[in-house]
Amino acid sequence: MIFKKDFLDKIINITSSAAIACYPHLGKKDKVLVDKAATDEMRKNLNQLDINGEVVIGEGELDKAPMLYIGEKLGTGKGLNIDIAVDPLEGTNFAANNLPGALSVLSISSKGNLFNAPETYMNKLAVGKDVPFDATDLDFSIEKNIKNIADSKNKDLDKITACLLDRPRHKEIIDKLKKLKVNLRLITDGDVAGALLVTDKKYSVDIFLGVGGGPEGVLAASALDAFNCKFQGRFLFKTEEDITRAKKMGIKDLNKKYDLNEIIMGDSIFSATGITTGDLVKGVTRNDNEFVTETLVTHKSQNLIKKIEKSTII
């Protein structure tokens, strides 16, 4: 299935509307309220599409509604059969405190082409298309990955920059990177955006790595696919409940390392609208009765990677 341009425009409108819904709540210190505003708006607009859609990447299970939960059916039930990955508000802390980098994110693909990921942690690695595919691997040591990247880019180690979440669980990785004299870009939240920093030299990030959310890993992979970047992920199951849920989703090998083409297949659309201004896109601004948004959109079959500014009259 190849998605048409008018459908692409509808997806952009949905993330834009969700971002605008957050605007009144920016900086109000209420993570629940701002997240609910984005979620309610995204759900409402997805349900107006002529699709038979199912959420395969969501914010939780059925009992965690009103979040867009895994397995939720969306759309009118007519038209396209699609899988949906959502993060109506990536970076709730950013939005609640009016800090840079909050996004509204949505990805779609034909039914069966988007990995149905459990809501658990994932060990991730992402590098740009300028790094040879076999130069990096989740199973390589930190030192080997960094040195291979440096060799492939003809850079000294102290000119390499690694991006990862600033979490206690990453202390060992951070210590190793410091020992190698690698530059660190530590982020407090938003690992979809963090992974996408490998897509362009202007962000000066050579590798994104570490443990973050599994759903966010799938969302990032759907965008990185259009950029011809490399992504690998391995789910981490810490409890028996996690393992049981994964098996119900059809995951048989709990230790499997997934390459990008196993996570996202066929045609896909990725749309990320800025809520607060960050590296990737500008945040929502208001001029009298008009909202202005900026969206990063990718459409794989059309080789489309574009930032789109949209004005919405209220």
In the predicted structure, residue 1 carries a pLDDT above the cut 80: no
**pLDDT tier for residue 63 given thresholds of 50, 70 and 90:** very low
**Chain mean position to CA 300:** 16
> What does the pLDDT read at residue 232?
98
In the predicted structure, residue 65 carries a pLDDT above the cut 50: no
Higher pLDDT, 128 or 118: 128
Higher pLDDT, 214 or 293: 293
Higher pLDDT, 206 or 119: 206
> What does the pLDDT read at residue 66?
60
Percent of the chain with pLDDT over 70: 97
State the Cα angle at 60 between 59 and 65, rounded to 5°. Answer: 95
CA 105, CA 92: separation in Å to the nearest integer? 12
Closest Cα partner for 305 from 285, 280, 275, 279? 280
In the predicted structure, residue 122 carries a pLDDT above the cut 70: yes
Backbone φ and ψ for 190, nearest 5 degrees, come out as: 75, 65
Q: Which of 7-21, 29-43, 56-70 has the lowest mean pLDDT?
A: 56-70
Question: Which range scores top for mean pLDDT: 116-120, 170-174, 189-193?
Answer: 170-174
> What does the pLDDT read at residue 118?
77
Q: Which residues pair with 165 in a beta bridge?
A: 187
> What does the pLDDT read at residue 60?
66
> E strands along 20-60, which residues?
51-57
In the predicted structure, residue 18 carries a pLDDT above the cut 90: yes
Closest Cα partner for 118 from 239, 293, 32? 239
Helices (H) and strands (E) in the chain, counts: 9, 14
DSSP 27: T
Q: For all residues of the chain together, what is the average pLDDT?
A: 93
Domains of the chain: 5-114+267-313 (3.30.540.10), 121-263 (3.40.190.90)
The phi-psi region of residue 153 (left if phi > 0; otherwise alpha if psi is between -120 and 50; otherwise beta) is: alpha
Closest Cα partner for 14 from 34, 33, 41? 41
Backbone φ and ψ for 60, nearest 5 degrees, come out as: 155, -170
Percent of the chain with pLDDT over 90: 81
**pLDDT tier for residue 61 given thresholds of 50, 70 and 90:** low
277, two tokens: 């201004």
Higher pLDDT, 238 or 188: 188
**pLDDT tier for residue 62 given thresholds of 50, 70 and 90:** very low
Pairing mode, strands 51-57 and 80-90: parallel
Average pLDDT over every residue of 268-280: 97
Average pLDDT over every residue of 51-77: 81
> E strands along the chain, which residues?
51-57, 73-74, 80-90, 103-110, 121-127, 161-165, 183-187, 207-213, 230-236, 258-259, 268-274, 285-287, 290-299, 304-313
Q: Is 44 helix (H, G, I), strand (E, B) or coil?
A: helix
CA 244, CA 303: separation in Å to the nearest integer? 38
Task: Identify whether the C-beta of residue 4 lies closer than 8 Å to the C-beta of residue 93.
Answer: no
Contacts of 240 (CB under 8 A, 6+ apart): none
